Amino acid sequence: MTKEQRSTLMRILVLLFVIILIIVLIIYRNRVKDLGVYGYPGIFIISVLANATIFIPVPGIMITTAMGAVFNPFWVAIVAGAGSALGELTGYLAGYGGQAIIENRDWYERVSNWMKKYGDLTIFILAFIPNPLFDLAGMAAGSLKLPVWRFMLVCFLGKILKMMIFAYAGVSIMRLIH
């Protein structure tokens, strides 16, 4: 097997893994909320799973808001941000593994151009703003072979700041109720 064939096989396997993971998450999405009873590790797992889906919403931000009202919101944000960033690896891997599938698509070209021009800033802003477009940034980063450590670091920073807002919103909501 040549190096190119191994690379193609690896990309196909990564893409299949991402597809299987998404299917499992869709099937069990209602059970994800049950993990909150496990405290910070549960919040981490929920955040990983909520962000491991590609374009399929799972209620990660709502859980972060609710858990911010129950636990220390600072640590909820850190744990949820770390889990969210780790979960976003599926988009990165889908871009890496499915490069031939996503190339020559209008949305890919647009996000890819943003990534080439603004790089880390694109990742940070899309990680910070609650939106499904972050999956596109992850795919573009994977397709462009952005170093995974850099993608994760910038994603982690954007996700933590976003989760801070939602975790502290949970505290504020609880104060209004009581």
Segment 61-74, tens digit of pLDDT: 777 887 887 889 99
Task: Calculate the average pLDDT of the chain.
Answer: 79
Q: Between residues 2 and 28, which one has the greater pLDDT? A: 2
- Confidence band, pLDDT 50/70/90 cuts, at residue 102: low
Average pLDDT over residues 5-21: 66
pLDDT of 11 strictly over 60: yes
pLDDT cut 90: percent of the chain above it: 25
Q: Taking residues 164-176, what's their average pLDDT?
A: 83
Q: What gap in Å lies between CA 103 and CA 106, rounded to an integer? A: 9
Domains of the chain by residue range: 3-25+39-177
Of 4, 5, 13, 19, which Cα lies nearest the Cα of 97? 13
Q: Distances from the Cα of 91 to the Cαs of 69, 169, 175, 178, in angstroms?
A: 30, 28, 37, 40
**Which three-class secondary structure state does DSSP give residue 119?**
coil
C-beta neighbour count of 104 within 10 angstroms: 8
In the predicted structure, residue 174 carries a pLDDT above the cut 90 = no
pLDDT bucket at 153, cuts 50 / 70 / 90: very high
**What is the reported pLDDT for 169?**
86
Pick the more confident residue, 101 or 12.
Answer: 12
Say if residue 96's pLDDT is above 60: yes
Please list, in sequence order, all residues whose beta carbon lies within 8 angstroms of the beta carbon of residue 153, skipping any fewer than 6 positions away: none
Asked if the model's pLDDT at residue 138 lies above 90, the reply is no
